[in-house]
Amino acid sequence: MPDQPWTDAVLVVLDLEGTGAQDREHEAILEIATVPLAGGLPDMSRCYETLISPGRPAPRRPWISPGLTTTFCAPP
């Protein structure tokens, strides 16, 4: 397989959004997204995205989506 171009490989781009590194050992993942690559280009028809509840309130920060409410992030 080393002789084949990387564009022939099955690749998926993974993106994680979290509360931020300043939370150190308490940082929590808030969102996961994947985008498959087809021929080296994003295959937007097969993307996946989901929110992840950290089980605690998420701090308000400029990079955290305003759609993540305390209700969503609170423990069940």
6-73 in CATH: which number? 3.30.420.10
Domain residue ranges of the chain, discontinuous segments joined by +: 6-73
Q: What is the pLDDT of residues 44-69, one digit of tens each?
A: 999 999 888 778 777 676 666 666 66
Residue 6, pLDDT above cutoff 80 = no
Per-residue pLDDT, averaged over 20-43, amounts to: 84
Q: Residue 14: what pLDDT?
A: 95
Q: How confident is the model at residue 33 (pLDDT cuts 50, 70, 90)?
A: very high
Q: What is the pLDDT of residues 11-25, one digit of tens each?
A: 899 998 887 777 778
- Which residues lie below 8 Å from residue 33, measured CB to CB, with a gap of 6+? 14, 15, 17, 47, 48, 49, 50
Q: Please provide the size of the chain in residues.
A: 76
